[in-house]
Amino acid sequence: MAALAASFYKDRAKIRHGFCSFFMLSPYNFLHSTFLLSPIANLRIKNLPLRCNQVGEFETQVKSFKTMADIHGIDQELLNKIVYDALVWSSLHGLVVGDKSVKRSGTIPGVGLVHSPIALLPGSFPETHWKQACELVSIFNELVDRVSLDGKFLQESLSRTKKADDFTSRLLDIHSKMLQMDKKEEIRLGLHRSDYMLDEKTKLLLQVELNTISSSFAGLSQIVSKLHSDLLDQYGEVLGLDSRMIPENNSGNQSAEVLAKAWTEYNNPSAVIMIVVQAEERNMYDQHWLSVHLRKRHNVKTIRKTMAEIDREGELQSDGTLLVDGQAVAVVYFRAGYTPIDYPSETEWAARLLVEQSSAVKCPSISYHLAGTKKIQQELAKPNVLERFLDNKEDIAKIRRCFAGLWSLDDKDIVRKAIEAPDLFVMKPQREGGGNNIYGDDVRKTLVRLQKEGNVEDAAYILMQRIFPSVYPTIFVRDGICHKDHAISELGIFGAYLRNKDKVIVNDQCGYLMRTKVSSSNEGGVAAGFAVLDSIYLT
């Protein structure tokens, strides 16, 4: 999973005093005055089992509600009512995750449930940039597919990284074996997510990263968008908001539909879709939403297996059919396998190789997985590299427009600049899932250490331009407690690609994910505990 990249500019006081971002020029205008005039503000809400922490005083008082939102100015009793209704709605509609404080919550469904961490109301987002992100989906889908077919490019681009990073090395070993076997993936399936931030200074939509494995929260993102729509249907008039400005989001249903189409292309009605999961998965309900859709809409059976179980129960038939626990597998959908933690022993690596050798449709295949690594993202940003994979000049220009600065650590000039001004850069290892990136003075310290040691470890990282998105007031709700704070957001657009030989069956957007976090936090994964689920309100 992706990590959020930014927090404040160096001149934080200026941002907090200005509040002139696109998030502030939002639909929440006149909130405070609306609450004062509304009869709903006079409701007496009693015995509500929640509390709302107050944010500290703004450094400057807001002078006019005509130029900014004052979500923090919502009448307290009205706020309590909205939070209460949001918690009830979340419980009734499955907007839930496993509670970390309950030991069995990651293994036994229905044990230790808690509502997913959420933003109480949707965050503003410019419609022009929303459309731009949606238009990029099909181009990135095609790009990933073409990059994945160029085995030489993947192996050569990651050759130095292989020497420095054991995890990437093991993935490349499997990929190399597939190349030696001349393994053909006739049915190619990708469920990707491209993550973006809107840079405050340049007003450019910049890509944070492209995820090609375990692009999570398709199930819950769909539900949180419906939560926000329902809240605005109920409270929109008093808040001055229109639920129709929240884009329709069917990310879970659409992802399941593409999995079903891949299952159909495999052409074995008795085969199953296997979801590869971690041994303890508190985000299991996001995955179960897809399984329920597959069963109810397409009568497709799903099974859930860890890598260790696949090794223990799996076997490969002479025709390439993958059997797991005696059941033929049509599609393998990875929600694990993206981090070294998922491979604690040789057992798990044997399972990954077994799957890759089979005729089952992989989501993703090993080549798709490698195409989504940070190093490949950096390589694609180099001059003339996109032209190796794409023919349409307009498409190339659209992609380049959203690229942030990306550099290898063998670029000595950039390394020098990063040491001098570390706050302008992020160091990224070849990892997914949040909590892995290096920020601030740690960038300088790490670069200086790598220079002194002079070994190949620097190949395990890339440098990326740090994106500074707009900071805006929001209300977080976690563990039944609401908290007013200032936030930044990251928009992820889900994309689906399905091809059988030369026939492209699906190449489209399939919903979105909005993640919002406290502006002072560097990392941003929801599952990692840094961010909350959100939706967008078009402005």
What residues are labeled active site? 193, 209, 211, 216, 374, 428, 432-433, 515
**Cα Rg for the chain, rounded, in angstroms?**
23
Compute the distance between CA of residue 473 and CA of residue 121 in angstroms, rounded to an integer: 11
490 is in an annotated binding site: yes
| Amino acid in position 40 | I
526 is in an annotated binding site: yes
With tokens 């976090």, the residue in question is 517
Compute the distance between CA of residue 289 and CA of residue 223 in angstroms, rounded to an integer: 10
With tokens 């993206």, the residue in question is 338
312 is in an annotated binding site: no
287 is in an annotated binding site: yes
Is residue 464 within 8 Å of 405, Cβ to Cβ?
yes
336 is in an annotated binding site: yes
211 is in an annotated binding site: yes
431 is in an annotated binding site: yes
337 is in an annotated binding site: yes
Compute the distance between CA of residue 435 and CA of residue 438 in angstroms, rounded to an integer: 9
Nearest to residue 289, comparing CAs of 329, 262, 265, 254? 254
16 is in an annotated binding site: no
Backbone angles phi, psi at 145, to 5 degrees: -60, -45
420 is in an annotated binding site: no
429 is in an annotated binding site: yes
Compute the distance between CA of residue 19 and CA of residue 30 in angstroms, rounded to an integer: 15
| Amino acid in position 484 | K
213 is in an annotated binding site: yes
Nearest to residue 438, comparing CAs of 458, 413, 463, 420? 463
417 is in an annotated binding site: no
384 is in an annotated binding site: no
Is the alpha carbon torsion for 227, 231, 232, 233 positive or negative? Answer: positive
Tell me the C-alpha to C-alpha distance, in Å, between residue 495 and each of 155, 238, 395.
25, 36, 16
Tokens of 366: 């090993």
433 is in an annotated binding site: yes
84 is in an annotated binding site: no
CB atoms inside a 10 Å sphere around CB 161: 25
Tokens of 469: 């998105």
With tokens 């985000």, the residue in question is 283
434 is in an annotated binding site: yes
Q: What is the DSSP string of 450-507?
A: HHHH-SGGGGGEEEEEPP-B--EEEEEEETTEEEEEEEEEEEEEEEEEEEETTEEEEE
209 is in an annotated binding site: yes
527 is in an annotated binding site: yes
393 is in an annotated binding site: no
Compute the distance between CA of residue 204 and CA of residue 222 in angstroms, rounded to an integer: 26
467 is in an annotated binding site: yes
The helix/strand/coil state of 413 is helix
Nearest to residue 444, comparing CAs of 469, 467, 463? 463
Compute the distance between CA of residue 16 and CA of residue 62 in angstroms, rounded to an integer: 11
214 is in an annotated binding site: yes
Tokens of 220: 């819950």
162 is in an annotated binding site: no
283 is in an annotated binding site: yes
Query: Binding site membership for substrate: which residues?
Result: 193, 213-216, 281-283, 287, 335-338, 515, 526-527
Query: Binding site membership for Mg(2+): which residues?
Result: 209, 211, 432
Query: Binding site membership for ATP: which residues?
Result: 209, 374, 428-437, 439, 464-467, 490, 517, 523
Query: Binding site membership: which residues?
Result: 193, 209, 211, 213-216, 281-283, 287, 335-338, 374, 428-437, 439, 464-467, 490, 515, 517, 523, 526-527
